[in-house]
Amino acid sequence: MTSRGWIAAALAILFTAALGIALLKHKTRSSTTREGQTTAYRPWKKRKLEFNKQIAPIVFEKCARCHYSGSAAPFPLTSYRDVRNHARAIARALDHGLMPPWKPEHGFDEFVGDYSLTDQEKGMIKQWLAEGSREGNPSKAPAPPKPPLQWPLGRPDDILQTAESFKIPADGEDIYRCFVIPTNYAEDRYVRVADVVPGNPRVVHHVVNFVDTSGRGRARDAAEPGPGFTAFGALGFPTAGELGAWVPGAVPNPLPDGVGYFLPKGADIIMQVHYHPTGKEETDLPRIGLYFCKQPVNKRLRVMTVGVPPGFLRIPAGENNCAFWAEQKMPGNITVHQIFPHMHLVGREMVAAATLPDHTSAPIVRIRDWDFRWQNVYTLKTPLHLSAGSRIRFEARFDNSSGNPRNPNSPPKLVKFGLTAKDEMCILWVLYTVDSEMLTLNEPASSNYPDSWTDGVWGHPSWGRKQGGEPNAGNQVPMSRLHGLR
């Protein structure tokens, strides 16, 4: 590179680094967030809030989707009595922002299935609890909510499961078990959406579905006793794709017409299930339901990795504020449909945004209180179009001090990239389609776009590290520059 080229490259890196630091810094806007909701709570008239009138509709919609009897949640929230009996725990969970466990912050992209409370709803529940949790007229009690439907999209085209059920011991560490399920399809297929029904919702915390054509999943399965094999985060070998994820409370969300998850003939599906022991021995036999694309498919959903590479990710013992960034430049026009941020247990905070060639920015996601247990694949309400030359930037902060209650090492140790709970990862997987791909017209995407889950690093990746000090250092990019510019 010429010296001018180097200077330009250095400036570009400095500019993007400053943008990223600013991204980690900016605070939630205090004015309007989603669709005209304001963030300030407008209190109700004193002692006018009643469960049967104002509170039940909120709790039944936003909490009961997970808090029903027999679910992974510790108690149901499907009646006045349930809510009153857990009033203290609810007030605490709301104050600490623990519940509902929807992680993406408002003011970034909006995602399908958002079950977070608005500030108004949260304020109403808190005011109602503080004023003594009045029930209101018992004859006006609303009908209790129904537990979530199995297969809410109707009967899947095919339902697959492992041959044997899996035993989860009464206590001990959480278990991450990967079940290898052959599809045995003789031809390639496209899947519109995959849905998961746990055999035993009490123990299942989350599920990630991979597609494997290498046979390595089968080999791992054969090498370990019992159904499946154990792998905490990534599987440890390249997979051919993914089929979405499931967490309690999630509603399956089909891809748009003309877009499909590619399921090559003969592929295996690997369901990675996170089990949380319940205090008594349990068994589970999860099922995955496939809904195939009925319309002609023009585009595959592909995966791109925006991440800090293995050799570079080192988080020194004791550091509570170790930030990394990674960036990827788009080689052509693409459309982003879903994102899947991924860190392990010392990961605390992450933010992602796109910068367009005209230097305008599009915020994508921010999670301030990262929790591995509530990771998810998020579907953008409005797909994000990125023209060639746009960049997606991902920035994440790790806390490897003893002050992080989730730190898996006590005392803290150097944490490096790896696949176990004691290692880390720093990745944003971006699920996207290539605008020029038109399979029905025989126009494939160029080879610039690999579509394998783990080979998906392409284009011009860059990454770096900012260590120590306030995450707030650097120039602030005003939120106005990050909003409404698409």
Q: Which is nearer to ligand HEC, 248 or 471 (CB)?
A: 248
Q: Which of 17, 21, 56, 65 forms a contact with ligand HEC (CB under 6 A)?
A: 65
| Cα 276 to Cα 464: distance, rounded to the nearest angstrom | 35
What's the closest the beta carbon of residue 100 comes to ligand HEC, in angstroms? 4
CB of 44 to ligand HEC, least distance (A): 17
Question: Which residue in the set 117, 193, 207, 271 belongs to the binding site for ligand HEC (CB under 6 A)?
Answer: 117
Whole-number CA gyration radius for the chain: 23
Q: How far is the CB of 401 from ligand HEC (least distance, A)?
A: 22
Which window, 33-41, 65-73, 217-225, 227-235, contacts ligand HEC (CB under 6 A)? 65-73
**How, if at all, do strands 427-434 and 334-342 pair?**
antiparallel
Instruction: Say whether residue 63 binds ligand HEC (CB under 6 A).
Output: yes
Name which of 127 and 305 has its Cβ closer to ligand HEC. 127
Distance CA 405, CA 409 (A): 10
Q: Is residue 101 near ligand HEC by the rule CB under 6 A?
A: yes
Q: Does 192 bind ligand HEC (CB under 6 A)?
A: no
For position 466 contacting ligand HEC by CB under 6 A, the verdict is no
Question: Which of 21, 22, 55, 66 touches ligand HEC by CB under 6 A?
Answer: 66
Which residues, 238 to 267, sit near ligand HEC by CB under 6 A? Answer: 248-249
CB closer to ligand HEC, 113 vs 256 = 113
When asked if residue 115 is in the footprint of ligand HEC (CB under 6 A), the reply is yes
Residue 350 structure tokens: 């992450």
Is 99 a binding residue for ligand HEC by CB under 6 A? The answer is: yes
For the chain, the residue count is 486
Q: Tokens for 199?
A: 């055999």
Q: What is the DSSP string of 149-168?
A: PSSTT-S-SEEEE-SS-EEE
Choose between 70 and 74: whose C-beta lies nearer to ligand HEC: 74
Q: Convert residues 69-98 into a mask of x (bound to ligand HEC by CB under 6 A) and - (unbound).
A: ---xxx-----------x--xx--x-----
- Token pair listed for 144: 């209790």
Q: Is position 41 an interface residue for ligand HEC (rule: CB under 6 A)?
A: no
Q: What separation in angstroms does the CA of 52 have from each of 83, 127, 462?
A: 12, 15, 54
Residue 288 CA: distances (Å) to CA of 226, 227, 300, 475: 19, 16, 20, 47
Task: Output 206 or 393, the one with its CB closest to ligand HEC.
Answer: 206
Q: Give the Cβ contact number of residue 253 at 10 Å.
A: 18
- Distance of closest approach, residue 349 Cβ to ligand HEC, in angstroms: 18
55 binds ligand HEC (CB under 6 A): no
Task: Look at phi and psi of residue 154 and say left if phi exceeds 0, alpha if psi is from -120 to 50, else beta.
Answer: left
What is the rounded CA–CA span in Å between residue 142 and residue 88? 23
Beta bridge partners of 17: none
Binding segment toward ligand HEC, per CB under 6 A, in 59-67, 207-215, 298-306, 315-323? 59-67
Strands (E), 62-188: 158-161, 166-168, 175-182
Question: Any contact of residue 20 with ligand HEC (CB under 6 A)?
Answer: no
The rounded distance, in Å, linking the Cα atoms of 382 and 386 is 13
Alpha-helix runs per DSSP H in 26-132: 56-62, 80-85, 87-95, 119-130
Min separation Cβ 204 and ligand HEC, Å: 10
Q: Contact at 8 Å (CB) between 461 and 328?
A: yes
Handedness of CA 440, 442, 446, 451 (dihedral sign): positive
Say how far apart CA 279 and CA 203 lie, in whole Å.
Answer: 10
Shortest Å distance, C-beta 160 to ligand HEC: 25
Closest approach of ligand HEC to the CB of residue 171, in Å: 15
CA torsion 410-414-419-421 (nearest 10°) is: 10
Q: Give the interface with ligand HEC as residue ranges (CB under 6 A).
A: 62-63, 65-67, 72-74, 86, 89-90, 93, 99-101, 115, 117, 248-249
